[in-house]
A and B are shown apart, each in its own frame.
Chain A
Amino acid sequence: MTFDLQALVARMEGHGRLLGLQYRAHGDDWAELAIPYDPRQIGQVDSGVLASGPILTIMDVATSAAVWLKRGAFLPHATLDMRVDYLRPATPGKTVIGRGECYRLTRSIGFVRGQAHDGDPDDPIAHVAGTFMTTADIS
C-alpha cells in the first residue's frame, strides 16, 4: 500500500475533523471509520437522534478511502453521486461505525457501496451506494 490511511485520518483537517472522524480498520478494498456520539451533531432535538448529515459524511470518507485502497494510491477525486438509505435512526449515545467498499474501479471512476451501524453490523442504520471520479488529470 502506498499511503497510510490511519495516518491520513489522524491528520485529517476540515469537515472530517469537525465531526471527529476516527480510523478503525481497512483491507485491500474497504475502510472502516467511526464517529463518536457528539450532541452537537443531533438532528432531532426531542429524541437526541444524530442528524443524517454526519452519516452521509462518514460514508463519503469511508467509501473514498476504499477507492484509494483499491487503487493503491491517494489520487484526489470528487464525489459524483451518493445515495443513502436511512434504515433506522442511530441510537443516541452510541458511536457510529461506517464501512465503505470499492467494488469496481476503472481508470477514472470508483463504484462504491457501504453500510453504517452503531455496534451491530447485522443491524445497520444506513446503506449507501455512490461513485467517485478522479480529478487528478482534470483541472
Chain B
Amino acid sequence: MIDIPYARLLGLDIEHGEGAPVLVMPFDTGKLGRPGFLHGGAIGGLLEMAAVAALLQQLDDASAQWKPINVTVDYMRGGRELPTRARGRVTRLGSRIANVEAIAWQESPEKPIAAARMNIMIKRK
C-alpha cells in the first residue's frame, strides 16, 4: 500500500500490472459530496495520488523527493457510489520538473469521470 497517511484516509489500494500502478478508492460515505455523487475533492485527491504513484514508479529512486506545483482537474461525469480507479502517466520527466496526467474511472478507462494534469517538482539527492 502507499505509505502516505492521506492515501490511507481515502482507503486507497494499489493494483500493479503493466505500466503505471492503478489506485483503487473504495466507496464509502466519507467520499460523498452532493447526495448520490462522489465529492470532487475526493476524486481530485485520488487523481493526485495516481499521478504521484506514476511518477515514483518512473523515478525508481527511493531518496527522490517530490512536491506538487499545481493541478488542473476536469470533471467529466458524476462519480457514483462505486469504487473508483485512477492511473497516472508521466508525459515528460525532466531533471527538476515532471509533467504528469491522470484519469479516474468507474466503469472503464474509456469512460473517465475526471482527468488531471499536474506539474510536480522533483528533488533527487
Interface size on B, residues (CB 8 A): 34
Total of A-B residue pairs, C-beta within 8 Å: 120
Known interface pairs A18-B9, A39-B5, A78-B75. Does A54 touch B70 (Cβ–Cβ under 8 Å)?
Answer: no
Q: B80: CB under 8 A from chain A?
A: no
Q: Is the beta-carbon distance between B5 and A41 smaller than 8 angstroms?
A: yes
Number of contact residues on A: which range applies? 35 or more
Q: Enumerate A76-109 residues with CB–CB distance to B below 8 Å.
A: 76, 78-86, 89
Known contacts A18-B9, A40-B5, A45-B5, A83 near B41 by CB under 8 Å: no
In whole angstroms, what is the CA distance A85 to B37 when docked?
26
Q: Find A42's partner among B5, B30, B67 (CB 8 Å cutoff).
A: B5
B32 contacts A53, C-beta separation under 8 Å: no
Q: Closest CB of chain A to B124's CB: distance in Å?
A: 15
Chain B interface (Cβ within 8 Å of chain A)?
Answer: 3-6, 8-10, 29-34, 37-42, 44-46, 48-49, 67-75, 78
